[in-house]
Amino acid sequence: MQFVGENAPVQESWDITITLDSRGRSRIELKAAHLSEYRDDKSITRELDGGVEAVFSDSSGVTTATIHAEKGTIHPNGDLEAFNDVILTSADRTVIKTSYIKRFASTSRLWTDRYIVIEKPSETIRGYGLESDDALKNYTIFKASGEAELKP
């Protein structure tokens, strides 16, 4: 058997779909062009690349939001990270663009400290940092500025 290196993946898959369930409260379906699995003595980390899509659903199976990104990571504790050209879209068509977002499995919260742009039909908000629920309905922007369309 040939040694391939200490940092080589132990498993790879292409055109994958993974479903993560949060104890019946919500569900995430992840799709990616490529998955690499890395193991050490204590944990398994899965790296996703080639385009990643995460579809969030509530306990009734209704889609609440989606995330598209170039790359992603699934951590052993269920936390997810998305990197590079990250676009989040809510069911009400709110669009959030950033370069990085993390979802904490324990709280079902989304978080970033990076530059963000939130686009709604009548307003655009820019800023740095965001914390939100999975559905992108209740969010806090840490440092915000914006523009709104005034209707007569």
Whether residue 147 lies inside any domain: the answer is no
Q: Give the pLDDT score at 137.
A: 87
What pTM did the predictor assign? 0.84
CATH number at residue 15: 2.60.450.10
Whether residue 21 lies inside any domain: the answer is yes
Whether residue 5 lies inside any domain: the answer is no
Domain range for 50: 11-111
Average pLDDT of the chain, as a whole number: 87
Instruction: With beta carbons less than 8 A apart as the criterion, state whether 84 and 68 touch.
Output: no
Whether residue 89 lies inside any domain: the answer is yes
Number of domains composing the chain: 1
Whether residue 4 lies inside any domain: the answer is no
Whether residue 24 lies inside any domain: the answer is yes
Whether residue 146 lies inside any domain: the answer is no
Whether residue 2 lies inside any domain: the answer is no
Give the type of residue at 30: L
Q: What is the pLDDT of residues 38-74, one digit of tens each?
A: 988 888 899 999 999 999 988 888 899 999 999 999 9
- The rounded distance, in Å, linking the Cα atoms of 44 and 55 is 22
Give the type of residue at 81: E
Q: Give the pLDDT score at 3.
A: 44
| Percentage of the residues of the chain whose pLDDT score is greater than 70 | 88
If you write DSSP's letter for every residue of the chain in order, what string do you get? -----TTS-SEEEEEEEEEEE-TTSEEEEEEEEEEEEEE-SS-EEEEEEEEEEEEEEETTS-EEEEEEESEEEE-TTS-EEEEEEEEEEETT--EEEEEEEEEETTTTEEEEEEEEEEEETTEEEEEEEEEEETTSSSEEEEEEEEEEPPP-
